[in-house]
Structure 1
Amino acid sequence: MSSKKRYNENLSLSDVLKEFVSTNKLQEGLDKVEIKDTWKNLMGNGVNSYTTSVQLKRDTLYVQLSSSVLREELSYGKEKIIAMLNEALGKPLIKTLILK
């Protein structure tokens, strides 16, 4: 048996996963998945039934909607939507919201 202690012996599983994500540069991909789930949870069934795509590119969230009426209505509350999403995500990932 080796007398060397493993460096991660006292780390929690959470810490090990964070290190793994950081080392392998996976955070951006995880953020993209989390944003889709957050949009779905915050916006509810009414908006989700017209949402065809949610994509994060850098700090811009692109949301494709199949209803021009809904797109127009949501455009009036862009700042509030951005604030709600960032708060739910726990970090300021989104600076701009583009409704297509």
Structure 2
Amino acid sequence: MHTQNVNVKTAAHESSRKIGVGGQAYTLNQMTDLFVYVLENARHQKQPGFFVPPAGGDLMVARSDELNETILIWMLEGWPLAISIPENNFLAVLTGITA
């Protein structure tokens, strides 16, 4: 698994900052879009009891010190797969199984 860590300052303008995952560069705005995409689509899908990250996947990690939260986005072959905020025990996974 490939991991990329990012510190996020919520008050600062970060749109030009690039985060690389699997050879692909993402801005913080794109990471936000990926998070929202998984959040919106996972609510219509059956959620697993636990999540095991896939072998060969990528993990993006964004940390907000102001909110005291860590945001995790798992990607597989360039597609978003799951999101998590561990401090809130939040997990959403794109399972492909209708709820």
| Range into which the TM-score falls when normalised by the shorter chain | under 0.3
Q: Taking structure 2 as the reference length, what is the TM-score of the superposition?
A: 0.27
Which structure's residues are more often strand, by fraction?
Answer: 2
Higher Rg: 1
Larger helix share, 1 or 2: 1
Higher relative CO (Cα under 8 Å, sequence separation at least 6) belongs to 2
* TM-score, normalised with respect to structure 1: 0.27
